[in-house]
Amino acid sequence: MNERSIVREFVMEPGTGRAVELLRGQILRVEQIEGGQCADFNCFNLHDYKEFLHTGRSRVIHGLHLTKGHFLWSAPPRERPIMYILEDTAGCNDTLFPRCTGTLFESLFDLPVHTNCQDILAEAEREYGLTPDDVHDSFNMFMHTSIRPNGEPYIAPQKAKKGDYLELLALIDVLAVPNVCGADVTATSDFSLKPLKVVIYQASETDLAAVPPIRKLSSQRTPADFKVKTIKADRPLRRDATYRPEFTNVPLQRIPCPVLLSDDELALLQDLKATGLYGATDSEVLRFVLFSWWMEAFAPHINQKP
Amino acid sequence: MAEHEVVVVINQQQAELLDKTVARGHATDRPALVRRALREFAATHPPVQGRPETK
């Protein structure tokens, strides 16, 4: 089918969110009605809620500001692409800031009862039996952020205009949960909360063909690989008396690797050591240099292709 | 030309990475790979430059 078809559409009013079942090959479009509105986003494997979007992994692979051509990844140990950003007309998405919370508004603004993304997402996810503890770190659509030279993150004025939209293609069946961010006393949405339009499409062949090949890795584990197969259903944590540690590659060994350096090479090593940046001993500096060089030579950025 | 021995201590996982790199033809053995790394890193990281970004 080379034409998209609309599956459903609705408007999210300020202070609300919606949990939406999105089957593999369907597209979630979140669209600005008035402009300047942030939307926080959660996403779960529809058939196993313990697999969910991991903002941190997505951020490290693609950068702080996810956009067209990037994937949303699930948390380790599943760690696979679960959604693909097909389109992004505003170009201001954030993976830096956590969702706003009731505690944030009470502590900073003395507003103990206030719209906030933690509670909005929790309320939307409650429709599927999830608890407030299940709300996860959000991917923040239409949130304009950056970092000051001193390393401090900040929220900049909105860039999203009326009609701007973000489209996410589901790569597996998911429960997608967008909301209208509840932060109206910070700059997140230019100090006013506005509705957002949501459209679900059945993707066209062109849409599906836009997704780059996805590499499967043996380290992307599933519950079949887990030593504990069942999900804990009670709250207290109790020690398993039969537990025996089985950590990977333990014990780690100390393997001496002798290297003969020429006069010139030793001089290079001493120059690097004198900077004080790479270690205290010749051995430490050479190891630091070795693996730093390897990263630069063979993994020049930590962006990874799926 | 004098030769100076420096012993780099690595673990088995790091050794695996180096050995795979050697097997791909980037050096003849581990010591040669280390020496190549030193020369090329020094060429692109003058002593005054800050700490490289690694993870």
Q: Judge contact between A3 and A205, C-beta under 8 A.
A: no
Residue A302 has pLDDT above 70, yes or no: no
Nearest-angstrom CA–CA distance, A257 and A283:
10
pLDDT of residue B46: 85
* Average of per-residue pLDDT across A202-213: 96
pLDDT of residue B48: 66
Q: Tell me which chain A residue has its CA closest to the CA of residue B32.
A: A259
Phi then psi for A165, rounded to 5 degrees? -150, 160
Work out the mean pLDDT of chain A and round it to a whole number: 94
pLDDT of residue A147: 94
In 3D space, the residue among A109, A123, A132 whose CA is nearest the CA of residue A180 turns out to be A123
For chain A, what percent of residues have pLDDT higher than 90?
87
Q: How many CB atoms lie within 10 A of CB A26?
A: 23
Q: Characterize the bridge pairing of strands A20-22 and A71-73.
A: unpaired
Where along chain B do its domains lie?
Answer: 12-40
- Contact residues, chain A, for B14 at CB < 8 Å: 255, 291
For A29-46, the pLDDT digits (tens) are 999 999 999 999 999 999
- Contact residues, chain A, for B51 at CB < 8 Å: 277-278
pLDDT of residue A256: 97
Asked if B55's CB is within 8 angstroms of A289's CB, the reply is no
In 3D space, the residue among A238, A249, A286 whose CA is nearest the CA of residue A266 turns out to be A286
CA distance B25 to chain A (A): 13
In 3D space, the residue among A140, A166, A141, A135 whose CA is nearest the CA of residue A52 turns out to be A135
Confidence of residue A303 (pLDDT cuts 50, 70, 90): very low
Asked if A262's CB is within 8 angstroms of B2's CB, the reply is yes
Both structure tokens of A108: 């900073």
Asked if A292's CB is within 8 angstroms of B52's CB, the reply is yes
For B25-40, the pLDDT digits (tens) are 999 999 999 999 999 9
Q: How many CB atoms lie within 10 A of CB A285?
A: 24
Q: What is the largest CA-CA distance in chain A?
A: 72
**Exposed, middle or buried: residue A128 (CB in 10 Å: 0-12, 13-18, 19+)?**
middle
For A233-242, the pLDDT digits (tens) are 888 878 889 9
Q: Token match 């490290």: residue?
A: A60
- Contact residues, chain B, for A253 at CB < 8 Å: 11-12
CA distance A251 to chain B (A): 10
Asked if B52's CB is within 8 angstroms of A275's CB, the reply is no
Residue B54 has pLDDT above 50, yes or no: no
Beta bridge partners of A86: none
- Contact residues, chain B, for A282 at CB < 8 Å: 6
pLDDT of residue A33: 98
pLDDT of residue A300: 67
Q: What is the ipTM of this complex?
A: 0.90
Of A33-37, A78-82, A262-266, B45-49, where does mean pLDDT reach its minimum? B45-49
pLDDT of residue A284: 95
Nearest-angstrom CA–CA distance, A256 and A237:
42
Estimate the crossing angle of helix A263-274 against helix A282-298, to 10 degrees.
Answer: 90
Residue A279 has pLDDT above 70, yes or no: yes
In 3D space, the residue among A217, A256, A259, A281 whose CA is nearest the CA of residue B12 turns out to be A256
For A124-182, the pLDDT digits (tens) are 999 999 999 999 999 999 999 999 999 999 999 899 999 999 999 999 999 999 999 99
Asked if A296's CB is within 8 angstroms of B12's CB, the reply is no
Estimate the crossing angle of helix A282-298 against helix B30-44, to 10 degrees.
Answer: 80
Both structure tokens of A165: 């939209």
pLDDT of residue B53: 41
Asked if A293's CB is within 8 angstroms of B40's CB, the reply is yes
Residue B1 has pLDDT above 90, yes or no: no
- Contact residues, chain B, for A275 at CB < 8 Å: 47-49
For the four alpha carbons of B44, B50, B51 and B52, in that order, the dihedral sign comes to negative
Nearest-angstrom CA–CA distance, A136 and A53:
8
Q: Judge contact between A183 and A143, C-beta under 8 A.
A: no
pLDDT of residue A235: 80
**All residues at 6 or more sequence positions from A42 whose CB lies less than 8 Å from its CB, including other chains:** A52, A53, A121, A125, A135, A136, A138, A176, A177
Confidence of residue B55 (pLDDT cuts 50, 70, 90): very low
Would you call A287 an interface residue with chain B, using a CB distance cutoff of 8 Å? yes
Would you call A252 an interface residue with chain B, using a CB distance cutoff of 8 Å? yes
- Contact residues, chain A, for B22 at CB < 8 Å: none
* Average of per-residue pLDDT across A240-253: 89
